[in-house]
Amino acid sequence: MNATSQSIAQRATHNAQLSKQVLAAQPTQYLTFMVGSEVFAIGILAIKEIIEYTGLTAVPMMPECIRGVINLRGAVVPVMDLSVRFGKKVAEVTKRTCIVIVEIEAESGPQDVGVIVDAVNAVLDIPDADIEPAPAFGARISTDFIRGMGKVNGKFVILLDVNHVLSTDDVGALGTGAATDGQEAAPASPVAANDLHSAH
């Protein structure tokens, strides 16, 4: 096995291990990931699975933060670029880039949204006692996007409020149908050996 194949296998194993932890999710657990040089986290109960970055089907007239859609088991799932959502440049796709499938509460009910992250890190247990309120000022992203600041090993991790970060009218409109409108969305490639779709 050459170095590239070994690296791909190691990333797949790492993501599969994280996905197993998602299956055994606890309310105080969070998936941490990188967007640029910053560490963010999403509550594990909102996460359905982690998949490899795959080609996206572009949709005209969408905001820049919506990079496209994927076909996830027959359903159209919009994919958001968190870097752009936070007012930064388009995320560069690398070997570690992943799409995290998150369930949010939309006006029409639960909806899946994919988010592009530069790398997934680990599942961490952050008790409520170690979570501080979102700062009133000084944050590098909108405070509406922040659920709180989790203290991990003496450092702060930004805990995202997914229902604010990912919930837009455009995302809601995209996620309501299956891939049947004459265009096939790009099929997603699950990283995990386990199918987490039934976990929620």
Q: Tell me, what's the pLDDT at 19? A: 56
* Amino acid at residue number 168: T
- Report the C-alpha gap between 139 and 160 in whole angstroms: 12
Integer Cα distance of 147 and 27 in angstroms: 14
Phi then psi for residue 87, to 5 deg, are 85, 20
Residue pair 79/72 in contact (Cβ under 8 Å)? The answer is no
pLDDT in tens, the chain (200 residues): 555 555 656 666 666 566 555 555 556 899 999 998 889 999 999 999 999 888 899 888 888 888 899 998 888 999 999 888 888 888 888 889 999 999 988 777 888 999 999 999 999 999 989 998 877 665 567 677 888 899 888 888 999 988 888 875 544 444 444 443 444 555 555 544 233 333 33
pLDDT value at residue 4: 55
Q: For position 119, what pLDDT does the model report?
A: 92
Res 198: pLDDT: 34
Nearest C-alpha neighbor of 146 from the set 43, 64, 53, 48: 43
Q: What is the pLDDT of residue 159?
A: 92
Q: Where are the domains of the chain?
A: 3-199
Task: Return d(Cα 120, Cα 86) in angstroms, integer.
Answer: 18
| Topology adopted by domain 3-199 | OB fold (Dihydrolipoamide Acetyltransferase, E2P) (2.40.50)
Q: In what order do the strands lie in the sheet with 131-132?
A: 119-125, 29-35, 38-43, 155-160, 146-152, 131-132
What whole-number distance in Å separates Cα of residue 96 and Cα of residue 34?
10
What is the helix (H) or strand (E) element at residue 18, kind and residue range? helix 3-23
